Structure 1
Amino acid sequence: MAARENGAESGPRGPYDVLVIGGGNAALCAAISASRDGARVLVLEAAPRFYRGGNTRHTRNMRCAHDTATEILTGPYTEDEFFDDLLRVTGGQTDEELARHMIHESKDMLNWIVEQGVRFQPSLGGTLSLGRTNSFFLGGGRSMLNELYRTAEGLGVEVAYDSEVVALDIDDGTFRAATVRRGDALVRIEARALVAAAGGFEANIDWLKEGWGEVAENFLIRGTPYNRGTVLKMLMAAGVETIGDPTQCHAVAIDARAPKFDGGIITRLDCVVFGIVVNNRCERFYDEGEDIWPKRYAIWGRLVAAQPDQIAYIIFDARSLELFMPSLFPPISGASIAELAGKLGLDAEKLTATVEGFNAAVQPGTFDDKTLDDCRTVGLSPPKTHWARRIETAPFYAYPVRPGITFTYLATRIDREARMRMADGRPARNMFAAGEIMAGNVLGRGYAAGIGMTIGSVFGRIAGREAASNARQ
């Protein structure tokens, strides 16, 4: 069952010290960490090799604390500033002890991850405003993932693709074995310790509908179709404690023309701050210029989800067309707002009135897309508090957007050692978790760019180390 780099396969030669379920960043960090600590490790990836890696394939960067500028970062980002940012975006809905622990541990991740073969490039600027806080992977998430796999395989970590876990043998908080479906065969794999790093349940539309209702049918799933939450459900059934709200998630506004699954980063739109956003009644519904985009982009999925038919439209003019990274799909254009409305299927008179009302409320200011500028509206509800410029230069453009779900926040509760906790308050004996499946410990709501990869890397490294130590005992 263990997939080798050359594509040949053989059966597992158990028992293993550490079994890692999942194939993304958190899983690979756990596998590498455990292997470097002397453990014999098997990674189970439900996806085929080509689609390995879960949502990591679509990532670009990670947010880590650091005390000084570096070759790739323009200035310091202290632990306290990171924590303040996290408190702000989550509204305080975070386990503060775990959050501070993660942030402190993140300071060493930029070095550790490079030691595993990953390379960084200078951070991007513009609307992302991440040059000081976030480190960008050279070649993106897929390149980063390939380096982690190369390192893991070089250490002797075995990887099995097309290997879906369908049952877990857990007895009173002790993991015994996993039953794995491989084609038509079911295989039992025993291990001394378990690391669950199998993602959330965002690709399980039926589970999303349990919390969201029928509106979830209109959600698009930005990442892998393999994150269906089956491992999370099995852990819950075995008595593992959970934390988080099943309706909370990383949800951004993405191009409505994106595919149902796996559209990735190229369907995200970063132009909200340069225009206005209206629903299909041509009404604005939130302040488009509330804060720097990386601290607000992940609220727009939920905002659009609350609109009629879960659809909205970003409207802007020619002056803003080249100020942001475009979607894979070209914007819809019109010589006038009325013509644009017709192409969008919106009421031309209502959209024109909305744009004219916005233009009338815009105050003089100095536009600066790199800071919280003084361009704002007065007497408008909702206001636009920054980057407000009149929409008056033809041609006019629009992107239709829908909620794009990246990952969910219902999670297994863990401690500082990434050890799962049982519902009765006891720590699990030999079960650990990392990545999206435990991210809700840190992210009760909200998001800031790059935190997901930080959670996966930090707790993956911890989970692997602790699982290896546990297996020795």
Structure 2
Amino acid sequence: MEMPVNFDHPYDVLVVGGGNAALCAAIAARRAGARVAILEKAPRFYRGGNTRHTRNMRCAHDTATETLSGPYTEEEFFDDLMRVTQGQTNQPLARMMIRKSKDMLNWITEQGVRFQPSLGGTLSLGRTNSFFLGGGRSMLNALYRTAEKLGVHITYEAEVTDIEMDGSRFVAAQVKTPDVTRRLAARSLVAAAGGFEANIEWLKEGWGDIADNFLIRGTPYNRGTLLRTLIAKGMKQIGDPTQCHAVAIDARAPKFDGGIITRLDCVVFGIVVNNRCERFYDEGEDIWPKRYAIWGRLVASQPDQIAYIIFDAPSLELFMPSLFPPVTGGTIEELAAKLQLDPAALRTTVETFNAAVQPGEFNDKILDGCHTEGLTPPKTNWARQIRTGPFYAYPVRPGITFTYLGVEVDEEARVQLATGGAAENIWAAGEIMAGNVLGRGYAAGIGMTIGSVFGRLAGEGASHYANR
């Protein structure tokens, strides 16, 4: 049974946010004996931030399981993280997270979340990532049911606009609801309110006016209000305001909340050109789950922040389709005209690419070595000539999932002060502190790992502090 927050009595643990990290923190704190409140800025229907749109999480494990096709060691996970971040990670913190992720699949299952059998196909994640049965919303609903059964109090449309501090100690939150602004006291605070990706003006502080052309894959409610407040109250900032999880999504997607169904997984099967019909990056650099999150940033650097994935008939059914159908043309010139591109320029780019493709045995399940020669930029894997009509294209823009600028934490998920040391009773989990692990880059499912591992740590730490 859902119970609203009682503003007239202090709580042991106040959790701000409503996604995976917040729920893991609230459940862990409640199971440790704390009286817990959750304040979620979004309406109930839109609760959960980006968790609503996720599909899977990445955890280390030593053997195959009912839902995973093989082992994924701590060292392999760490190597993957180092590769995608190019070393820009807090290594001790990352190793701790990976080590604790080994128990997370069991713990999450104990909270009511169910997983489906491992997936095959082009995502290549059957061994490394566990997929939620029913997707992110089903996972989220399971966590909410558990929190409610445990007696966690939850109020929606409740935005924390300020916090009271006594030195380094959190005292109370100022909470804006549709009807009134109220004060809520608590013995400890867990900040799990996400990033600021929906705050276009804040994005423009780092990116400039090109941020106007960004699409926001998730909730319009993640505006970074709590993050701004924490930094203003003396918490230590970490990360670059221009670093984020940014993928190439269908340019026809809505400005906000298009979710995962607008993502395109076909880059590796064709070429990507800008609106001048120029290729600008190696489409076959690595297995897609380790490289898909670089493409938002790549498209952001192109004229007008727009690009086009071009491929032909043999590739049409090699990837999961997007919400929108591809643009189709019987010839390259017809396709170009529909995209409002220069037909002669696109024909030249395709013919130049085709001439550079070397013989090889195409295999979309591995790094197949099918490559180009004498072409800049090269295509180092999955290079096949684009010559069999009909021809297809998807227009893409940068799709921002979440931002990496956040607050610094230690291995207990305690928020650090700008002046040194830790805040007495403030913890953080999820996207609001993801920059500790993700200095740049992304690999599929790591956001959920960060949220669940640090959420559980934060909830346990905040509860122990409150009940000491």
TM over 0.5: yes
Distance 2:215 2:166 in 1: 37
Q: Which residue in 2 is equivalent to 1:160?
A: 155
CA displacement, residues 86-137 of structure 1 (integer Å, 9 cap, x when unaligned) = 0000000000010000000000001000000000002322221001000000
Identify the match of residue 231 of structure 1 among 200, 216, 226: 226
Q: Which residue in 1 is equivalent to 2:439?
A: 444
Give the residue type in structure 1 aligned to 2:20: N
CA displacement, residues 178-213 of structure 1 (integer Å, 9 cap, x when unaligned) = 011111311100000000000000000000000000
Distance 1:217 1:21 in 2: 28
Q: Which residue in 1 is equivalent to 2:288?
A: 293
Alignment of 1:42-121 (within 5 A): 42-121=37-116
Distance 2:420 2:363 in 1: 51
Offset at residue 467 of structure 1 (A):
0.2
Distance 2:4 2:358 in 1: 66
Q: Which residue in 2 is equivalent to 1:222?
A: 217
Distance 2:284 2:257 in 1: 29
* Contact in 1 for aligned 2:7/2:182 (Cα 8 Å): no
* Contact in 1 for aligned 2:5/2:154 (Cα 8 Å): no
CA displacement, residues 13-36 of structure 1 (integer Å, 9 cap, x when unaligned) = 521000000000000000000000
Q: Which residue in 2 is equivalent to 1:464?
A: 459
Give the residue type in structure 1 aligned to 2:273: V
Give the residue type in structure 1 aligned to 2:463: A
Identify the match of residue 430 of structure 1 among 425, 428, 431: 425
Number of residues of Structure 1 aligned to a counterpart in Structure 2: 468
What SS does the aligned partner of 1:315 have? strand
Q: Which residue in 1 is equivalent to 2:375?
A: 380
Distance 2:187 2:5 in 1: 21
* Contact in 1 for aligned 2:5/2:155 (Cα 8 Å): no
Q: Which residue in 2 is equivalent to 1:367?
A: 362
* Contact in 1 for aligned 2:4/2:153 (Cα 8 Å): no
TM score, norm. by length of structure 1: 0.98
Give the residue type in structure 1 aligned to 2:230: L
Q: Which residue in 2 is equivalent to 1:171?
A: 166
Distance 1:240 1:167 in 2: 14
What SS does the aligned partner of 1:127 have? coil
Give the residue type in structure 1 aligned to 2:83: R
Q: Which residue in 2 is equivalent to 1:188?
A: 183
**Unaligned stretches of 5+ in structure 1?**
none
What SS does the aligned partner of 2:193 have? coil
Offset at residue 12 of structure 1 (A):
3.3
Percentage of identical aligned residues = 76
Q: Is 2:259 aligned against 1:258?
A: no
* Contact in 1 for aligned 2:8/2:184 (Cα 8 Å): no
Identify the match of residue 449 of structure 2 among 430, 450, 454: 454
Identify the match of residue 320 of structure 1 among 315, 328, 340: 315
Q: Is 2:396 aligned against 1:401?
A: yes
Alignment of 1:133-144 (within 5 A): 133-144=128-139
| Change in CA separation of 1:10 and 1:467 when aligned onto 2, cut-off 3 Å | closer
CA displacement, residues 375-423 of structure 1 (integer Å, 9 cap, x when unaligned) = 1101100000000000011000000000000000001000011000000
* Contact in 1 for aligned 2:172/2:185 (Cα 8 Å): yes
CA displacement, residues 305-340 of structure 1 (integer Å, 9 cap, x when unaligned) = 000000000000000000001110000000000000
Give the residue type in structure 1 aligned to 2:454: F
CA displacement, residues 418-452 of structure 1 (integer Å, 9 cap, x when unaligned) = 00000011211000000000000000000000000
Offset at residue 374 of structure 1 (A):
2.2
Does 372-381 or 340-349 show the bigger shift? 372-381
Distance 1:180 1:78 in 2: 43
Give the residue type in structure 2 aligned to 1:438: M
Q: Which residue in 2 is equivalent to 1:202?
A: 197
Does 143-152 or 115-124 show the bigger shift? 115-124
Distance 1:328 1:346 in 2: 23
Distance 2:79 2:240 in 1: 22
Distance 2:381 2:4 in 1: 56
Q: Is 2:279 aligned against 1:284?
A: yes
Does 180-189 or 217-226 show the bigger shift? 180-189
* Contact in 1 for aligned 2:7/2:183 (Cα 8 Å): no
Offset at residue 11 of structure 1 (A):
3.8
Offset at residue 172 of structure 1 (A):
1.8
Runs of 4+ with deviation above 4 angstroms: none
Distance 1:133 1:366 in 2: 26
Q: Which residue in 2 is equivalent to 1:125?
A: 120
Distance 2:105 2:19 in 1: 18
Distance 2:4 2:368 in 1: 58
Distance 2:233 2:376 in 1: 49
What SS does the aligned partner of 2:308 have? strand
RMSD between superposed Cα atoms in Å: 0.8
Distance 1:79 1:461 in 2: 19
Identify the match of residue 270 of structure 1 among 250, 265, 271: 265
Q: Which residue in 1 is equivalent to 2:405?
A: 410
Distance 2:389 2:166 in 1: 67
Q: Is 2:346 aligned against 1:351?
A: yes
Offset at residue 63 of structure 1 (A):
0.2
Distance 2:116 2:194 in 1: 27
Distance 1:407 1:122 in 2: 28
CA displacement, residues 346-368 of structure 1 (integer Å, 9 cap, x when unaligned) = 00000000000000000110110
Q: Is 2:19 aligned against 1:27?
A: no
